[in-house]
Amino acid sequence: MKNHDDEVVISYFLRGGVILSISFILLGVIIIFLRNGGDGFTLSQLANYGYAYSHHIDSKSIPLGDIFHGIGLIDGIYFITLGLWILIFTPITVVIIGWISFFQDKNYLYVAMASIVLFDLFFAMLVIPRYVI
């Protein structure tokens, strides 16, 4: 790919990822308000930080594999979770596109730097949270 093509592809991915993410998050919020809660919790329980903290309502309580099941149940919490995952993976996709472009251009210094960035991102997402109390 040429530089201009890369910029166009990256801009589409960024724009599309953010729009898709915002759409899922807003839809999830609307569903939560219409159903007065989500994932077995009432709206007041979700809004009460003390309750949420004492009952461990956080992102760790939703396994990644259960998101699509929750979407099938039209549960707003899962729509919001999917929107957040899309938002997280949007810049990762951009780095992967850049890595492919650098590899095609045989610019190995930038391939190495993009590889380090990808390693850092995945390490921060998959390894570090397991050791944080």
- pLDDT for res 128: 78
Q: What is the pLDDT of residue 3?
A: 58
Burial of 116 (C-beta count, 10 Å sphere; 0-12/13-18/19+): exposed
Query: 30: which residues sit within 8 A by CB, 6+ positions away?
Result: 76
Report pLDDT for 70: 86
The tokens describing 22, both together, are 């915002």
Q: Is residue 14 within 8 Å of 86, Cβ to Cβ?
A: no
Residue 110 in this model has a pLDDT that exceeds 90: yes
- Look at residue 51 in the predicted model and tell me its pLDDT: 61
Q: Which of the pair, 110 or 133, is modelled with greater confidence?
A: 110
| Top-confidence residue, 31 or 130 | 31
- Identify the band that residue 39 occupies on the pLDDT scale cut at 50, 70 and 90: confident
Nearest to 57 by CA among 44, 41, 75, 78: 41
More confident: 40 or 80? 80
Can you give the pTM of this predicted structure?
Answer: 0.77
What's the rounded mean pLDDT across residues 29-56?
A: 77
Residue-level pLDDT at 38: 84
Confidence of residue 126 (pLDDT cuts 50, 70, 90): confident
